[in-house]
Amino acid sequence: MKITQITIIFLLACLTVVVGEIKQAIANPNLLVTTETEKAKPIPVSLPVIAVVKLKDGDRRTGAVVGVNSQHITIKRGQSSGKENITNVTRINFNDWKGFWWPTSDGIIVMRGDEVEKTGNIRRFEVGVDGLVWENAEKNAIEIKPESVIRVDDKEGVPRSMWNIINSRYVVSEMEFEPERQIWIITARLQSKKE
């Protein structure tokens, strides 16, 4: 009888702890996501050299997107470059037929489609407006900060398969800006350099 009472007391104590943790998780679901994304490394991204930037007024700009921050994007065409306020941008379509930026130990090079292998499905990232890390795509590698990822393919947070990507990069085909939510929706596919 004493063993049964001790077992019941022990089970009640365990149940109390579990219920407390569940209440905390329900009250603060971001706590669980934050813990998971802390393990993830930045997600490597490459942009194709040519982009068409579509603006709210129906106009468009064509060139290389070489920088994005929370205020503007920088578009380079030939030797000149210009900035466009991101609130004026609706979508950026990238065309990889001219190649895309790819970092190597010697710096950034332009890769062609036949030099890489498409290793993954097309993914859809929802990223906070400050979630992209770069200054100049021609000289610096681009990354998505894992803590800025809201969703990938309609699932919250960063999938475990993206926590530590080595020797591959997500090559972007489209970026769409949602000003109400202050997010970029990035469509990209994982690609690896052929050996």
Q: Is the pLDDT of residue 60 over 90?
A: yes
pTM beyond 0.85: the answer is: no
Sign of CA dihedral 114, 61, 173, 110: positive
pLDDT tens per residue across span 146-169:
999 999 999 999 998 888 888 889
Query: If you compute the radius of gyration of the chain from its CA atoms, what whole number of angstroms results?
Result: 22
Question: Bigger pLDDT: 15 or 126?
Answer: 126
Q: Is the pLDDT of residue 12 over 50?
A: yes
Domain boundaries, the chain: 2-36, 41-193
Query: Mean pLDDT for the chain?
Result: 81
Dihedral of alpha carbons 153, 155, 158, 164, sign:
negative
- Per the DSSP assignment, residues forming a β-bridge with 174 are 93, 187
pLDDT of residue 140: 66
pLDDT above 80 (res 16) = no
Which of 136, 150, 132 is CA-nearest to residue 43?
132
Tokens at 140, concatenated = 């610096």
What is the per-residue pLDDT across 103-148, written as a single tens digit (0 to 9) for each?
888 888 888 877 888 888 899 999 998 888 875 666 667 889 999 9
